[in-house]
Amino acid sequence: MNILVTGGCGFIGSNFIELIIDKDEVSKVVNVDCLSYAASLDNVSKFSENPKYIFENYDLADYDKTYDTFYKHDITHVVHLAAESHVDNSIKGSKEFVSSNIVGTHSLLEAARKFKTRFHHVSTDEVYGEAEEGKRFTEDTSYNPRNPYSATKAASDFLVKSYTNTHGIKATISNCSNNYGPNQHDEKLIPTIIRKLLSDDLIPVYGEGTNVRDWIYVKDHCEAIWEILTKGKINETYLVGANCEKSNLQVIMSICNALNKEYTSSVKFVKDRAGHDYRYAIDPSKIQKELNWESKITFNEGLFLTLKYYSEKYNYEV
């Protein structure tokens, strides 16, 4: 396999490359990343000298450069992870989200069509909107994006589906729940909680802090992507989750306990975010049944590993 990984200097992308780089089936890994604010070359330092690894720095919206990458490296598989992903930023301004999530995906699909490349598109559970009480998202759930970020991801999903149907590209899609773990950007919830606690700052909590998310450790997600890429049925969607629903307050409490911090004196409640979805929840039955995949790392285990990573990054003892 000559695999193109987009956004490989980001959170999930760097963890995915670390997972696959030494697999016997993999001959070459080409990482295309425009090095936006959420990416870092530090994330790929572990394998940057690996002879299988190649880095190219450009924006996927540039189709000519994208085409050239497919041609030069004889790309056989694509794992498309590159995306603008922070909801708050999409509310402030969505232009970059349209460019990255829609135009960038279109460039890749056009190249994949011409080179007959196996294509896997990584998306989010947020395209489904809010989960009804007592229900979880399945592959048959109707799309209902409710903010600019999730709307652009939904658009990219539909582009992939359309290219499979119209042009016959060999594509799959996965929609995953909230990830956490090493290399995640500081703006995300769990890194923010850790950073605020370590600097004795108050953690800003939207609304009443009761919004619920389904959490999965990033390395479990990466294993799922590999299983879908190598064993998934073409033109199928797989939902990836860990059956780990927690409110924002529960997440904060867990981290406070791990760091021996007092919860009640560590939070401040702020005005809720515009269009804030209350709950996301994934039913991963399909991928468990068809591909024999399931998450292995519990939230407490994953949190320990995450805190260990940040202990080295911020130079403190867990």
Q: Write out the catalytic residue numbers.
A: 125-126, 149
Kindly give the interhelix angle for 218-231 and 11-20, rounded to the nearest 10 degrees: 60
Task: State both tokens at 133.
Answer: 């009480």
| Alpha carbons 318 and 313: distance in angstroms, whole number | 12
Report the amino acid identity of residue 303.
L
The CA–CA distances, whole Å, from 57 to 20, 31, 50 equal 20, 8, 17
**For the chain, how are helix, strand and coil distributed in percent, rounded to 5?**
40, 20, 40
| Alpha carbons 312 and 318: distance in angstroms, whole number | 10
| Alpha carbons 243 and 75: distance in angstroms, whole number | 35
Task: Order the strands of the 28-32 sheet from edge to edge.
Answer: 53-56, 28-32, 2-6, 77-80, 118-124, 171-176, 237-240
Please give the distance of CA 1 from its chain centroid, rounded to a whole number.
22
